[in-house]
Copies of this chain bind each other. A is one copy, B any other.
């Protein structure tokens, strides 16, 4: 059987430990093709580069068998370039990450990692975003690996529903406490309460840093936040149809009295 073609992307940049670990793991599953940002792109959401040019150059970073391109664009640009320009056939799988930090609940819409996976799904490729709840550069990916292998194997063998990708978040490794397993969840109703830090520059002008506190308003036990708080790996199926189907009737009534 032909080895599957696997596209690997991320948002922390091509040299981040998270993607280097993901490439290493994916080399066991198929022929790996990497297109990843040349610099950190966290919080870039579904941004694309339409008002500027994009650089994308072949690079060699380690002695693995993968082919790699470093790209000046966003994570979504990387997927578009790989599929529409650099590859001559559609990948069998697109994996994004391993993100350094959580992409659970509402973070999914800000996340470059998850937007790349969503873009993969848009291109008709079974796609998975992996995130580890550890922001550290030297995060420990060892316990995450078995779950990444399990999800990758199942998706490669069986695919996913059309228009759906997976948002996989993995708890931070805690010494002496094993991850309990996988939970398939819905996105929790959670949000950031922003607080901007106002500062003054050396010339006396005001500027701001975005900071914030994560607030989970959701008491459900079927959410990704519940799963992660209880030391499970959370898996949320994510779609790009953002129509609020359940509000079609109320909006019709509101605007057209129908």
Residues of A at the B interface (CB closer than 8 Å) are 40, 42-51, 53-57, 76-77, 80-81, 83-85, 106, 108-110, 115, 118, 122, 150-151, 154-155, 158, 160-161, 163-164, 166, 182, 184, 186-187, 189, 191, 193-196, 198-199, 205-210, 235-248, 250-252, 254-256
Given A194-B80, A198-B85, is A161 in contact with B43 using a C-beta cutoff of 8 Å? no
CB distance from A30 to the nearest CB of B (A): 19
Q: Which of B40, B47, B84, B250 contacts A196 (CB 8 A)?
A: B84
25 A-B pairs (CB sep. < 8 Å)? A40-B51, A42-B50, A44-B47, A45-B45, A46-B110, A54-B208, A54-B210, A56-B206, A57-B205, A81-B208, A109-B115, A151-B255, A155-B254, A158-B254, A160-B251, A161-B244, A161-B246, A163-B189, A164-B247, A184-B255, A184-B256, A236-B243, A238-B242, A238-B244, A240-B242
Residue contact B242 to A208, C-beta cutoff 8 Å? no
Q: In whole angstroms, what is the CA distance A244 to B187 when docked?
A: 9
Q: How far, in whole Å, are A50 and B187 apart by their CA atoms in the complex? A: 22
Q: Are the CB atoms of B252 and A184 closer together than 8 Å? A: yes
Please name the residue on chain B nearest to A124 by beta carbon: B191
B81 contacts A196, CB within 8 Å?
yes
User: Which of these, B207, B247, B252, contacts A53 with CB under 8 Å?
Assistant: B207
With A109-B240, A239-B242, A243-B236 given, is the CB distance from A55 to B207 under 8 Å? yes
Cβ 8 A contact of A186, one of B115, B186, B196, B245: B245
Complex Cα gap A161–B76 (Å): 30
What is the total number of copies of this protein in its complex? 2
Contact B210 A80 (CB under 8 A): yes
The answer to whether A237 and B208 touch across the interface, beta carbons within 8 angstroms, is no
Q: Output the nearest chain B residue to A209 by Cβ-Cβ distance.
A: B53
Chain B residue with the shortest CB-CB distance to A147: B255
Q: Which residue of B lies closest to A249 (CB)?
A: B184
How far apart are the CA atoms of A155 and B247 in the complex, in Å?
A: 14
What is the minimal beta-carbon distance from A164 to any residue of chain B, in angstroms?
A: 4
Contacts of A57 in B (CB 8 A): 205-206
Q: For residue A245, which residues in chain B have a CB less than 8 angstroms away from its CB?
A: 186
Say whether A243 contacts B187, CB under 8 Å. Answer: yes
| A77: B residues at CB distance < 8 A | 210
